[in-house]
Structure 1
Amino acid sequence: MAQPAPGTPHDPGALQPLLPSDPSAIAGYRLLGRLGAGGMGVVYLGRTGTGELAAVKVTHAEQADQADFRARFRREVELARRVASPWAVPVTGADPDAPEPWMATAFVPGPSLGEAVREHGPLPERSVRILGGAVARALAAVHAAGLVHRDVKPGNILLAADGPRLIDFGIARVTGETGLTSADMVVGTPGFLAPEQAEARAAEIGPAADVFALGCLLAFAATGRPPFGTGALDALLYRTVHDEPDLAGVPEPLLDLVRECLAKEPAARPTAEEIVGRLTEDTPGAPADWLPAPVVATIAARSAAMLALPDIDPTAPGTAPDAPAKPSRRGFLLAGAGAAVLAAGGGAYALLNRRDDGDGKHPAPAARKTWAIGVLADLSGPAQEIGRAQERGARLAVEKFNAVHKGSPFTLELKVSDDRGDRTGALAAARRLTTDPSVIAVLGPTSDDTGIAALPAFEEAGVPLLTTSAGYNLLTLRDVAGPPNTTVLRAIPNHIMAGTFLAWSATLLPQIRRPGVLEERTDDQYSWQYTGGVRFGFKQAGIKPHFRVVPARATDYRRIIGEMIDAGIDAYIHNGVRSTAVLAARALTELGFTGPRFTGQHVFGNRFLKEAGSAAEGWFVCAPVIDPVQRAADPKQKPADRKLTQDFLDAHRKRYGTAPAFYTGESFDVVELVTTWLATSAARGPLTRKGLWDALRKQKYTGAMGGYEFNERGDLRGVGTFLYGVQKGAYKLLGSAPPEPANKKSGKS
Structure 2
Amino acid sequence: MTGKLTPSDPARIGGHRLLARLGAGGMGAVYLGRAESGELAAVKVILPEYADQPEFRARFRREVAAARRVDSPWAVPVTGADPDAPAPWLATAFVPGPSLAEAVATCGPLPPRGVRILGRMLARALTAVHDAGLVHRDVKPGNVLLAVDGPRLIDFGIARATEETALTSADMVVGTPGFLAPEQAQAQPASPASDVFALGSLLSYAATGRPPFGTGAVDALLYRTVHDEPDLDGVPDDTRAFLERCLAKDPGARPTAREVDETLVEDTPHDTVDWLPDTVVRLIADRSAAMLALPDIEATALDARADGQPTPADTSPRPSSRRRFLLLGGAALLTAGGGAAAWAALREDGTASAASPRARRWILGVQADLTGPQKTVGQAQERGIRLAVEQFNSRKDKPFTLTLKTVDDQGDATRAVKVARALAADRDLLAVIGSTGDETTGASLDSYDAELVPQLTASSAQYPYGVSEPRHFLQAVPGYTSLPGTAAFSLQTQGAQRVGVLIDRDGGIPAWQFGRAMFGGLDFLKIVGEPRVAPRLAEDLAPVVAEMVARKPDGFVYTGTPARAAAVARALARTDFTGLRVLGYTAAEPEFLTAAGAAADGWQVFAPYIDPSASPVRAFATAYRERYGAAPPYWAAEGYDVARMVIARITEAGGRPSRTKLYNLLAKGTYKGLVRTYAFDQKYHLLEGYETFRYEVTGSRYTYAGRVDL
TM-score (norm 1): 0.67
1:372 alignment partner in structure 2: 363
Alignment match, 1:454: 444
Seen in structure 2, the aligned counterparts of structure 1 residues 387 and 111 have a Cα distance that, compared at 3 Å, is closer
State the Cα distance separating 1:568 from its structure 2 match.
4.1
CA contact (8 A) 2:534 2:541 kept: no
TM-aligned CA distance change 1:192 to 1:398, over 3 Å: closer
Q: Which amino acid aligns with 1:718?
A: G
| Conserved? CA contact 2:124–2:261, under 8 Å | yes
Report matched runs for 1:354-433 at 5 Å.
Answer: 370-404=361-395, 406-433=396-423
1:120 equivalent in structure 2: 112
- Alpha carbons 2:557, 2:582 under 8 Å: kept: yes
Question: Aligned partners of 2:624 and 2:708: how far apart in 1?
Answer: 27
Match of 1:188 among 157, 175, 193: 175
Deviation of 1:451 (Å): 1.1
CA distance in 2, matches of 1:85, 1:368: 54
Amino acid at match of 1:237: L
What CA distance in whole angstroms lies between the structure 2 residues aligned with 1:401 and 1:109? 40
Which of 487, 490, 509 aligns to 1:505? It is 490
Q: 1:694 aligns with which of 660, 664, 667?
A: 664
SS for the counterpart of 2:464 is helix
Shift of 1:652: 0.7
Q: Secondary structure at the match of 2:481?
A: helix
What is aligned with 2:327? none
Work out whether residues 63 and 159 of structure 2, in 8 Å CA contact, stay in contact via their aligned partners in 1.
no
Structure 1 counterpart of 2:601, one-letter code: E
**How far apart, CA to CA, are the structure 2 residues paired with 1:316 and 1:369?**
24
Among 214, 217, 227, the residue aligned to 2:196: 214
Residue 362 of structure 2: SS of its match in structure 1? Answer: strand
Q: Does structure 2 retain, via aligned residues, the 8 Å contact 1:343–1:461?
A: no
Which residue matches 1:32?
none
Tell me by how many angstroms 1:574 deviates: 1.4
Distance in 2 (alpha carbons) for counterparts of 1:648 and 1:245:
47
1:198 aligns with one of 167, 185, 188:
185
Distance 1:137 1:477, change over 3 A: closer
| Residue pair 1:502, 1:600 contacting (<8 A) in 2 also | no
Partner of 1:138: 128
1:656 maps to which residue? Answer: 628
Change beyond 3 A, Cα 1:282–1:466: closer
2:619 equivalent among 638, 647, 656: 647
Partner of 2:481: 496
Q: Distance in 1 between matches of 2:114 and 2:368?
A: 36
CA shift at 1:318, angstroms? 8.2
What is the CA deviation profile of residues 174-208 of structure 1, one whole-angstrom value per residue up to 9, with x for unaligned ones?
67879x9998542213365456643446xxx4xx5
Which residue does 2:92 correspond to in 1?
103
> Is 720-729 or 381-390 further displaced after alignment?
720-729
Matched to 1:616, the amino acid is A
Mapping 1:156-175, distance limit 5 Å: 167-173=154-160
Are the counterparts in 2 of residues 83 and 141 from structure 1 also a CA contact under 8 Å? no
**Cα deviation per residue 1:352-371 (whole Å; 9 max; x = unaligned)?**
xxxx9xxxxx9899996631
Change (3 A) 1:306 1:376: closer
Q: What is the Cα deviation at residue 222 of structure 1?
A: 11
**Letter of the structure 2 residue corresponding to residue 291 of structure 1:** V
> Per-residue deviation at 1:408?
3.0
8 Å contact kept, 1:163–1:290: no
Q: How far apart are the structure 2 equivalents of 1:647 and 1:349?
A: 36
Amino acid at match of 1:234: D
Residue 64 of structure 2, aligned match among 65, 75, 78: 78
1:464 and 2:454 correspond:
yes
Residue 615 to residue 105, structure 1, CA distance change in 2 (3 Å):
same
Match of 1:89 in 2: 75
Q: Which residue of 2 aligns with 1:6?
A: none
- Aligned partner of 2:368: which letter? A
Q: Does the 8 Å CA contact 2:178/2:211 hold for their aligned counterparts?
A: yes
SS of alignment partner, residue 427 of structure 2? coil
Matched letter for residue 493 of structure 1: P
In structure 2, C-alpha distance between the alignment counterparts of 1:669 and 1:621, rounded to whole Å = 22
Deviation at 1:488, TM superposition (A): 2.2
Structure 1 residues 401, 252: CA separation in 2 closer, same or farther (over 3 Å shift)?
Answer: closer
Cα distance in structure 1, aligned partners of 2:660 and 2:204: 47
Mark the CA change 1:451 to 1:618 in structure 2 (over 3 Å): closer, same or farther.
Answer: same
CA–CA distance in structure 1, aligned partners of residues 150 and 394 of structure 2: 65
Query: What is residue 349 of structure 1 aligned with on the other side?
Result: 349
Aligned to 1:681: 653
Indicate yes or no: 2:684 matched with 1:711: no
Q: SS at 1:692's partner residue?
A: helix
Helix, strand or coil at the partner of 2:586: coil
Q: Which has the higher contact order (CA 8 A, sep 6+)?
A: 1
Stretch of structure 1 that moved more, 454-463 or 304-313: 304-313
How far apart are the structure 2 equivalents of 1:474 and 1:252? 30
Distance 1:258 1:650 in 2: 57
After superposition, the C-alpha distances for 1:76-97 in whole angstroms (9 at most, x for unaligned) are: 9724542233475141646899
Residue by residue over 1:542-596, the C-alpha shift from the partner in whole angstroms, topping out at 9 and shown as x without a partner, is 2232222223364423344334334544432112232322332233334564332
1:626 to partner: Cα distance = 0.9
Equivalent position SS for 1:661: coil
Q: CA separation in 2, counterparts of 1:108 and 1:658? A: 51
> Does the CA-based 8 Å contact 2:3-2:348 persist in structure 1?
no
Contact kept in structure 2, 1:192 and 1:213, CA below 8 Å:
no
Counterparts of 1:478 and 1:239, CA distance in 2: 19
Paired residue type of 1:650: T
Kept in 1, the 8 Å contact 2:480–2:513? The answer is: yes
In 2, the alpha carbon distance for the partners of 1:584 and 1:559 equals 10
The answer as to whether partners of 1:215 and 1:259 remain within 8 angstroms in 2 is yes
Instruction: Give the corresponding residue for 1:150.
Output: 137
Q: Distance in 2 between matches of 1:229 and 1:175?
A: 26
Does the Cα contact within 8 Å between 1:85 and 1:137 map onto a contact in 2? Answer: no
Q: Distance in 1 between matches of 2:51 and 2:426?
A: 32
Instruction: Output the amino acid matched with 2:193.
Output: V
How well do the aligned residues superpose, as a CA RMSD in angstroms?
5.8
Alignment partner of 1:733 is 2:704: yes
Task: State the match for 1:33 in structure 2.
Answer: none
The 2-side partners of 1:222 and 1:464 are apart by 31
Q: SS of the counterpart of 1:507?
A: helix
**What secondary structure, in the 3-state scheme, does the structure 2 residue paired with 1:691 have?**
helix
SS in 1 for 2:528: coil
| Residues 711/416 of structure 1: CA separation in 2 closer, same or farther (3 Å cut) | same
Shift, 1:536, TM fit:
0.9
Identity fraction in percent: 34
- Structure 1 residue 615 corresponds to structure 2 residue 602: no
Deviations 1:4-33 (A, max 9, x none): xxxxxxxxxxxx9x9999xxxx99xxxxxx
Given that residues 41 and 94 in structure 2 are in contact (C-alpha distance below 8 angstroms), is that contact kept between their aligned partners in structure 1? yes
State the distance in 2 between where 1:688 and 1:108 align: 26
Q: For the residues of structure 2 that align with 1:252 and 1:244, how far apart are their CA atoms?
A: 13
- Look up the SS of the partner of 2:649 in the other structure: helix
**2 CA distance for matches of 1:103 and 1:89?**
10
Question: Partners in 2 of 1:156 and 1:656 — Cα distance?
Answer: 49
Cα distance, 1:378 vs. partner? 0.9
Alpha-carbon distance in 2 for matches of 1:669, 1:422? 25
Compute the displacement of 1:461 (Å). 1.7
| Cα distance in structure 1, aligned partners of 2:441 and 2:673 | 25
In the alignment, the residues of structure 1 paired with residue 98 and residue 644 of structure 2 have an alpha-carbon distance, to the nearest angstrom, of 47
Task: Find the aligned partners of 2:370 and 2:246 in 1 and give their Cα distance.
Answer: 51
SS in 2 for 1:588: helix
Checking the alignment, whether the CA contact within 8 Å between 1:517 and 1:573 is kept in structure 2 is: yes
